[in-house]
Structure 1
């Protein structure tokens, strides 16, 4: 028996159910619906709704029909199971009412974005979904998908869909929108709005000027570890809840959402569900990027080369754990002090979360799209410390581990620059310093301070060579000692 509204009575009593929702005051459209959104923003929206102030979510998959096929036959219902140290608790989520697949029905996506009762658009489209040129920070206008949308063809990117919907909203007097990026990008709301306006500025109908007066895009910080659900997870959930759930999500108890107080219209009372509505997200965002996300990437690239598959396995390696702790200590002086932000306590919590063996968080999942993540997670810290005359042995070795990882480009996790890695390593023909020089100089991931510093490039090349020759364990121990660990 499959989960659905008709089969709710078959759920076991240990499944927590939400209070009945009466009035629906607004709609959220989520672009890029996946496991993270369903374990994070959807939970906050459900918990922030009341019988008198309810909200619904329409999900949009920009590529695959998998989530639609999992949720729509279940009337949008699914369960979220929190696991930690052998204890599991499961709750029912009912806030999603429909999932659309954009390539199959772009008109339906545009219509729901333009609807009068839609006030908010949330996004989890990953870093590459913003089509940002990492070298300039501008819109990647040369990308074929952007070129397609600029020509006004059936949309393929978030900008094409938003542009078409905003034109309809302006014409119908439907009002503006709050666009909320939930991706791990520095200043994600500001970035999204700037790129959207750059896209709209190419039109000659004044839509960009209208958008400037009607669109808000608050910066946010999101945090929750949500591994990909496996067949074994779904079998575990089915045995626990009494029905099959094709949309089952497994996650940790921890969750965090910090949102800048900048909205274009109505919104759910997310703060009632534990979200923090603040004047400045930057200190929280920076701490997450440079402590949690940076450590995640380190565990991914080093851990995979140490033959680990999961985060909890990698952090259980004492050498790798000591290295990660030393790397976080390196980053702490670059953080912004803020009330309620205790770096030492945050690091302790991060290590405990990583060690949760109940969450099978795959390292190759974290390793995906490395070129889009590393500038914020590692390179910015190295650059700041470099400008202050400070060495960053742990961060530099993490970069070296990633570079060594790219040497096997055909076998690595998906990355938009994968073909470039393969070409550079092939043309270098075993010359590591040459490969490193080209990777630093040609990919747009490093600023001029580092690109134009021969000493930095030489040191990095030496670290890559040592990693490849001596092995990860020796290199990690050496860097930890160099950092004072």
Structure 2
């Protein structure tokens, strides 16, 4: 067993780009998963290394378990990013995360850090389900956790944490805050602002003035970050010379597009390669509808065929062809490309990135949380094509793949397909009540109004395409 990664044990040639002992906390990040550590934290470290600014250390908040805290604490909060491309792997030690808070253990500490006058930016990667929104886009005020936060307990939800932090900032004169969502949601900044407004109204909240001063810029993030394995940790130990229990793995590609709308100071992320723009929407739509939608399609269709990774699925000639047809015939006609982005070339690059054999991104991992991913990844494309009088055959096949994945629970080899979804109970109940045949399954799942709105569920063209897709998949 190698010695554990720490400031003292790290070989001289592997030192991070900034000295962590010089950094003070200026950013709070909610949702301290692998993606943040391989994306925003990397941009933040690069910006600090270029500019020499030391005020942008990150206080990372784990919303559920203490596992990330327990991994990082013995390592002086250092970790490494193992980049896997077609060439030899590369590794870099990152020091931008300066502390880890665990919300269930100490919710007051999270609020106190958001209210810290030294903090001017809060970023979020809490996944779609972490926002606790209803299908229409507002806050789910019936959610028991939201209700408890509104009742005054130390907050456990991200909306409750932000609200309590804003209230305390108002009390102490800490100044305005920029709250930057980095999740795969359409217009994620305005979306989060609406949730905060709903929370303020429901709680007759004292944060109204601070909410008016806050900014909620939209952003688009892109990097494939598969789950880390023990084999990855062993390889990292060989490259580093020390053991890193907090290792994350990523592809070489790295992109961040941010709306330039901040309430105060921020890191010089543009110097680290981020794009600052007045309009994120075209970039965001292209990524959600091209990369994320194709990812989901390959996860469901590939998972059903028994493929364990996305790379295996996209090397199946039939699935690769279907993914290409989804992009060409259903998605691209719905998009207005931002200046400088060739949609056809981008689509080709997406499939090439998915085929990277060094990234073992599991189909089961991508298939998680389908009930909240489908509306933002695929159903917008379906609606736009239907409105244009076209039949979205390939987007509908991807949705049909999700339906069969949910209903079958097994792949072509008889292995279990886990249903890891915040609405798993409701989905299982719908499947249990389904009528006979493909039409019965389609109608049962279309009735889940937290996934499909009334107009889309009633569209006969969409229903017919789903029945056709489910029938073909069940035959296989």
By the TM > 0.5 criterion, same fold?
yes
Deviations 1:315-343 (A, max 9, x none): 11111101101111021111113211111
Aligned to 2:9: 7
Partners of 2:194 and 2:82 lie apart in 1 by: 37
CA distance in 1, matches of 2:183, 2:55: 25
Q: Which residue matches 2:387? A: 387
Give the aligned partner of residue 412 of structure 2: none
Show structure 1 runs of 4+ deviating over 6 A: none
**Secondary structure at the counterpart of residue 100 of structure 2:** strand
**Residue by residue, what CA displacement relative to the aligned partner does 1:241-280 show, whole Å, maximum 9, x if unpaired?**
1001011111111000000011011000000000000000
1:78 equivalent in structure 2: 79
Aligned residues: 465
- Secondary structure, counterpart of 2:179 in structure 1: strand
CA gap of 1:62–1:80, structure 2 versus 1, over 3 A, is same
Residues 414-439 of structure 1, C-alpha deviations (whole Å, 9 max, x = no match): 11121122112211254431331131
- 2:278 is matched with 279
Report if aligned partners of 1:21, 1:51 keep a CA contact under 8 Å in 2: no
Q: Answer whether contact 1:86 1:358 (CA < 8 A) is retained.
A: no
Q: Does 1:441 align with 2:447?
A: yes
Q: Describe how 1:122-201 pairs up with structure 2 within 5 A.
A: 122-134=123-135, 136-201=136-201
RMSD of aligned Cα (Å): 1.7
What is the aligned partner in structure 2 of residue 118 from structure 1? Answer: 119
Describe the shift of the 1:45–1:206 C-alpha distance in structure 2 as closer, same or farther (beyond 3 A). same
- Change in 2 beyond 3 A, CA 1:86/1:293: same
Aligned equivalents of 2:432 and 2:143: distance in 1? 25
Deviates more, 1:163-172 or 1:429-438: 429-438
Q: Deviations over 1:323-375 (max 9, x none)?
A: 10111102111111321111122112112211111111111110000010111
Alpha-carbon distance in structure 1 between the residues aligned to 2:297 and 2:107 = 38
Tell me, yes or no, if the aligned pair for 2:427 and 2:448 is still in contact at 8 Å. Answer: no
User: Is 1:260 the equivalent of 2:262?
Assistant: no
**Superposition TM-score, scaled by structure 1 size:** 0.92
Structure 2 distance, partners of 1:386, 1:204, is: 41
Partner Cα separation in structure 1 for residue 25 and residue 70 of structure 2:
25
Q: 1:422 aligns with which of 422, 428, 446?
A: 428
Instruction: After superposing the two structures, state which structure 1 stretch, 421-430 or 120-129, moved more.
Output: 421-430
Could you tell me how far apart the structure 2 residues matched to 1:250 and 1:67 are?
A: 15
Which residue pairs with 2:457 in the alignment? Answer: 451
Structure 2 CA distance, aligned partners of 1:58 and 1:17?
18
Partner Cα separation in structure 2 for residue 205 and residue 199 of structure 1: 8
Q: TM-score, normalised by structure 2?
A: 0.94
Q: Aligned in 2, Cα 1:205/1:398: closer, same or farther, shift over 3 Å?
A: closer
Aligned position for 1:464:
470
Q: After the TM superposition, which residues 37-56 of structure 1 pair with which residues of structure 2 at under 5 Å, given as runs? A: 37-49=36-48, 50-56=51-57
Q: Name 2:400's counterpart in structure 1.
A: 400
Question: What's the secondary structure of 2:120's corresponding residue?
Answer: strand
Return the alpha-carbon distance in structure 2 between the equivalents of residues 83 and 431 of structure 1: 44
2:283–2:337 Cα contact (<8 Å) kept = no
Distance 1:367 1:213 in 2: 37
Q: Secondary structure at the match of 2:258?
A: strand
CA distance in 2, matches of 1:434, 1:338: 41
* 1:249 counterpart residue number: 248
> Which runs of no fewer than 5 residues in structure 2 stay unpaired?
410-415
User: Distance between the aligned counterparts of 2:228 and 2:302, measured in 1?
Assistant: 21
1:439 & 1:2 partners in 2: Cα distance?
A: 49
1:91 and 1:115 map into 2 onto residues whose CA distance is: 30
**Cα distance between partner residues in 2 of 1:456 and 1:37:** 36
The verdict on how the C-alpha distance between 1:206 and 1:326 changes in structure 2, with shifts beyond 3 A counting, is same
**Residue 340 (structure 1) aligned with residue 336 (structure 2):** no
